[in-house]
């Protein structure tokens, strides 16, 4: 993140206060860090057992954007965190996500910089590796902002929320949605487009075409229940909303 140009002003690791990493000061608590620095975002790399407390600590110290890389945070913990964050006016990206990047400006997370160039395409994705692959195929066009929202059942910011933000973003001209089986976020995006609430052109790709029914594939949120969240239901929802769907990641470039 430092190498990319992100302004990292502090790190927090209990017991390591007073040390430095890559010339960045480390503090024992978030409270100590915010006393010394102006901080508007926090990124959580804490193991799942302690991540919940780390997120609460960031929220309670007034940080308004929290990116949670950690996976395997218990579902009930995430339900509580999400509700608490909304009450406090904090936005959470993740958990179990690669983070977000504004090409040539800032990187928060573990996205590899190579596929990203400044442009006008907004990308929202449930998959980390597919994000990189699809970004690579369109890097000569470039991206405005790329957000990996995470693959868990309960996440802080949903796909439909990000799409609505892209629709309002003057830096974004077109939107790519990278979904997968499980959950109903993609169907909610399609509903917004069909109702005319999303004006910008959208292109979609859904992973999981060959996944066996009722089987969890990859992410914890990729579980299909009672016919909802299937590959076919998502594809049909997009097509009914007039959103072109790529059969492979490489077709996205053709559709653009």
Rounded mean pLDDT of the chain? 94
In tens, the pLDDT along 112-147 reads 999 999 999 999 999 989 999 999 999 999 999 999
pLDDT at 183: 87
Sign of CA dihedral 195, 130, 47, 64: negative
pLDDT at 214: 61
Q: What's the CATH architecture for 11-93?
A: 3-Layer(aba) Sandwich (3.40)
pLDDT at 228: 64
pLDDT at 122: 98
In tens, the pLDDT along 148-197 reads 999 888 999 999 999 999 999 999 999 999 999 888 999 999 999 999 99
Task: Spell out the domain ranges in the chain.
Answer: 11-93, 99-255
- DSSP label at residue 24: E
CATH code of 99-255, in short, is 3.40.50.261
What angle (nearest 5°) sits at the alpha carbon of residue 147, between those of residues 192 and 90? Answer: 85
Does the structure show a pLDDT above 70 at 102? Answer: yes
In tens, the pLDDT along 22-47 reads 999 999 999 999 999 999 999 999 99
In tens, the pLDDT along 224-246 reads 665 667 888 999 999 999 999 99
Q: Are 96 and 220 in contact (CB under 8 A)?
A: yes
In tens, the pLDDT along 5-15 reads 999 999 999 99
Q: How many Å apart are CA 89 and CA 163, to the nearest integer? A: 19
Does the structure show a pLDDT above 80 at 223? Answer: no
Which two three-digit tokens encode residue 169?
């973003």
Q: Enumerate the active-site residues.
A: 219
Does the structure show a pLDDT above 90 at 215? Answer: no
Question: 11-93 with 99-255: one CATH topology?
Answer: yes
């Amino acid at each position: 993140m430092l190498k990319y140009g992100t302004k990292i002003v502090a790190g927090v690791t209990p017991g390591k206060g007073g040390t430095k990493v890559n010339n960045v000061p480390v503090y024992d608590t978030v409270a100590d860090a915010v006393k010394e620095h102006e901080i508007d975002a926090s990124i959580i790399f804490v193991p799942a057992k302690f991540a919940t407390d780390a997120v609460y600590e960031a929220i309670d110290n007034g940080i308004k954007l929290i990116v949670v890389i950690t996976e395997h945070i218990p579902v009930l913990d995430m339900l509580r965190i999400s509700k608490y964050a909304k009450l406090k006016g904090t936005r959470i990206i993740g958990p179990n996500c690669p983070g977000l990047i504004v090409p040539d400006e800032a990187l928060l997370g573990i996205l590899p910089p190579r596929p990203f160039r400044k442009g006008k395409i907004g990308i929202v994705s449930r998959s980390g590796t597919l994000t990189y692959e699809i970004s690579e195929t369109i890097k000569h066009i470039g991206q405005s902002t790329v957000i990996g929202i995470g693959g868990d059942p309960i996440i802080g910011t949903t796909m439909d929320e990000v799409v609505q933000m892209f629709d309002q973003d003057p830096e974004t001209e077109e939107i790519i949605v990278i979904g997968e089986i499980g959950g109903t976020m993609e169907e909610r995006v399609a509903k917004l487009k069909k109702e005319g609430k999303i004006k910008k052109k959208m292109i979609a790709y859904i992973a999981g075409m060959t996944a066996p029914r009722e089987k969890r594939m990859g992410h914890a949120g990729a579980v299909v229940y009672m016919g909802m969240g299937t590959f076919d239901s998502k594809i049909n929802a997009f097509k009914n909303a007039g959103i072109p769907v790529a059969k492979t990641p490489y077709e996205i470039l053709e559709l653009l």
